[in-house]
Amino acid sequence: MEAETKVKGRISDSALVRAATSWYDRHSPVEKAKHWLWIFIRTVLIVGICFIILYPIITKLSIALRDKQDMFDATVVWLPRHFTLDNIKIVMGYLKYSESVTNTLLLSLGTSLLQLASCALAGYGFARLKFRGSAILFGVVIFTIVVPPQTIMVPTYLHYRFFDVFGLYHLFTGKDGVNLLESFWPFFISSGLAMGLKNGLYIYIFRQFFRSLPKDLEEAAYVDGAGIPGTFARVMLPNAVPAIATVMLFSFIWQWNDSYFVNLFAPNYTLLARMLDLLPGAVRPEYVGGISHTSLYLNTGTLLGILPIFILYLFAQRYFVESIERTGLVG
Amino acid sequence: MSKRRTLSLERKKEIYGVLFVTPWLLGFVLLMVIPFVQSLQFSFHKLTLNSEGYSLQYVGLENYRNIFFVDAWYVRSLTEAVTVMALNVPLIIFFSLFTATLLVQKFKGRMLARAIIFLPVVLASGVIAKLDNGNFLAQMIGSASTDMEGNYSGLRSIELRPLLFQAGLSRDIVEYLTSAVDRIYQIISSSGVQILIFLAGLQSISPSLYEAAKMEGATGYEAFWKITFPMISPLILTNVVYTIIDSFYDNKMTQMIQDAAFGRLDFGVSSAMSWIYFLVISIILVVSTYLISKRVFYYD
């Protein structure tokens, strides 16, 4: 500053201050430093969070691809020295991979389509077709989210073990109820009746979304002579793509990952979640020749368990994130 | 003429409303109300399975007496489940709000960061966690040879602990914070849906509010506490409720209820356990909803 005053000796103090202020305003070093510091901190934080999430997956990938002898080699950290696909092949055998993936895919696809239909109907009914007591019933929907599945577990189990709606079956055939366990029917029935996994949440999502659509859309359809079902199917549903995508993805993924209901209703079915549950028992050290083998197989198993969903997510993630942001999840 | 038409449309709407809701209503009665009442009934009975169904034998409060005074583990597991929940909920809410405010800003690679952070939602950390729990031998091996498995990334609080003690914090707070660091993976992986909800809320706040605040000379810090926080406070309630429900969905307690029913075939005791569990959850939910909703700010 002093040097500046010497050179520009004729400039008065106030002019100097003014120049300094204007330079400061234009370049604002403190603001800029704050800005860059924030960007730096933010980047570190985000990279850190991403790292914590990706770390176990990368570790498992690295372990799954290595040979047994690399497990005791301290120089092998990330890249296996003896690259092999044997682990994957062996664990695929333990998991009966192709069969369990196909079964799980069928189950998840079936339930998510049924849930989509029943929850969209209920959501639209609650959002736009108000009737006496519909507000109370919607409160009940929220209530169903809160009830833990364990509370109704035993009666539900017995219900499907001796399946008989209102005793009708007994009335007509004289026999006791049908055993629906060990089939997909319990899943399909509860999904079709909007009582599957977290279905209260899906009804809520649909209701919020349909409420946010403009009323004129419906009015126009009614004026054009479309009935209520027609309006719903041809006007409202095509506009509800974000909500449909959200519910579809959530229901597919949660059904895919569910092991609770699978163990309850179909404990001997070859489904991926159940086979993964069984894996630690199948690869105990004394069966497979050492702790290192067990570790290899378990890591590979986890990787294989999440692989199909991971691939799905790679393709769907953009849509997934965007659609949830646009859905009326916000209340 | 037109009046009659609108009236009939209203009427039609009501009829179709009932029709649209029917599948759910049927499911609700068959798969929720009936089992709910039955479950309460079972909890006062001894249930025996036989070839043509099951038979009930009234035992009064025996099942409840059993779980409170005979079973050594029930009360302990229940307290543990509640404690874990009480410790995790504030951390999850704080972390998800923080992450959402980071993700809502514009920066390069935002899509990638979002895709990675929502990964735990779809990958169901459950599967990973479950296998890793049964994988403790592998963890020992891992720490012996490469220190890679089990303890994620060496993110341990060994250095943090003395640092915080020196800063003069009390023992409880230090324990809480360090244990939070140790459980960072669990916390991150169970806050995916909460981040989504917060993110959607943050994006729906009108930018003009921030512009006006900036004109008035508010700092970013002030803008957060005076605008962002009140605007998303209803979502904090939503997220607290969601987190509480989520934390009670799968834990030691649920395992116990399931074991009692399908391991020991003690359906009555299992029903009693689940009813106590349900009541405890309901009380926690009601109390926390009441406490938070008093402070919530509603925009409209």
pLDDT at position A9 is 53
Task: Give the E-state strand segments of B66-166 in sequence order.
Answer: none
**Is the per-residue pLDDT at B150 higher than 50?**
no
Residue B54 has what DSSP assignment?
Answer: E
Cβ atoms of A158 and B54 within 8 Å: the answer is: yes
- Measured CA to CA in angstroms, residue A24 lies from A3, A21, A27, A31, B218 at distances of 18, 5, 5, 10, 20
Q: Using only the alpha carbons of chain B, give its radius of gyration.
A: 25
Across the range B38-54, mean pLDDT stands at 83
**Is the per-residue pLDDT at A157 higher than 70?**
yes
Bridge partners for A83 per DSSP: A66
Torsion of CA B169, B171, B173, B176, to 10 degrees: 140
With a pLDDT cut of 90, the percent of chain B lying above it is: 14
Stated as kind and residue range, the H or E segment containing B178 is: helix B171-182
pLDDT at position A181 is 82
**Is the per-residue pLDDT at B170 higher than 80?**
no
ipTM of the modeled complex = 0.78
**Is the per-residue pLDDT at B6 higher than 60?**
no
Cβ atoms of B131 and A302 within 8 Å: the answer is: yes
Q: Which single residue is written with the structure tokens 């004109």? A: B215
> Quick check: A3 contacting B, CB < 8 Å?
no
pLDDT at position B238 is 85
Question: What is d(CA B193, CA B122) in angstroms, rounded to the nearest whole number?
Answer: 10
Summary mean pLDDT of chain A:
81
**Chain A positions in Cβ-Cβ contact with residue B140 (cut-off 8 Å):** 291
**Chain B positions in Cβ-Cβ contact with residue A147 (cut-off 8 Å):** 32, 36, 278
Bridge partners for A66 per DSSP: A83
> Quick check: A280 contacting B, CB < 8 Å?
yes
Most confident of A63-67, B7-11, B221-225, B286-290: B286-290
Confidence label for B198 from pLDDT (cuts 50, 70 and 90): confident
Question: What is d(CA A237, CA B6) in angstroms, rounded to the nearest whole number?
Answer: 24
Most confident of A216-220, A276-280, B172-176: A216-220
Closest chain B residue to A267, measured at CA:
B262
Across the range A310-326, mean pLDDT stands at 73
- The amino acid at B205: I
Stated as kind and residue range, the H or E segment containing B130 is: helix B125-133
Burial-class residue A30 by CB neighbours within 10 Å (0-12, 13-18, 19+): exposed
- The amino acid at B158: I
pLDDT at position B284 is 93
The gap from C-alpha A117 to its chain's centroid, in whole angstroms, comes to 19
Closest chain A residue to B10, measured at CA:
A129
pLDDT tens-place string over residues B119-147: 887 776 555 655 655 454 445 444 443 34
CA-based nearest distance B103→chain A, Å: 8
Q: Which of residues 101-160 of A touch B (CB under 8 A)?
A: 118-119, 121-122, 124-126, 128-132, 134, 137, 140-141, 144-159
**Chain B positions in Cβ-Cβ contact with residue A144 (cut-off 8 Å):** 28, 32
Question: What is d(CA B56, CA B59) in angstroms, rounded to the nearest whole number?
Answer: 9
- The amino acid at A288: V
pLDDT at position B50 is 76
Q: Which single residue is written with the structure tokens 């605040």? A: B213
Cβ atoms of B281 and B89 within 8 Å: the answer is: no
> Quick one: tokens of B275?
């009813």
pLDDT tens-place string over residues B238-277: 889 889 988 887 778 888 888 888 888 888 889 999 999 9
Question: What is d(CA B97, CA B235) in angstroms, rounded to the nearest whole number?
Answer: 10
> Quick one: tokens of B97?
């709000």
The gap from C-alpha B139 to its chain's centroid, in whole angstroms, comes to 28
Confidence label for A113 from pLDDT (cuts 50, 70 and 90): very high
Pick A228's closest partner by Cβ from B16, B107, B185: B16
pLDDT at position B89 is 92
Confidence label for A73 from pLDDT (cuts 50, 70 and 90): low
- The amino acid at A19: A
Q: Using only the alpha carbons of chain A, give its radius of gyration.
A: 30
Higher pLDDT, B287 or A257: B287
pLDDT at position A175 is 66
pLDDT at position B177 is 78
Q: What is the largest CA-CA distance in chain A?
A: 114
Most confident of A269-283, B31-45, B170-184: B31-45
Higher pLDDT, A15 or A112: A112
Q: Which single residue is written with the structure tokens 């569910």? A: A258
Of A62-66, B203-207, B221-225, B296-300, the one with minimum mean pLDDT is B296-300
* Residue B201, phi then psi, degrees to nearest 5: -65, -45
Question: What is d(CA B237, CA A166) in angstroms, rounded to the nearest whole number?
Answer: 40
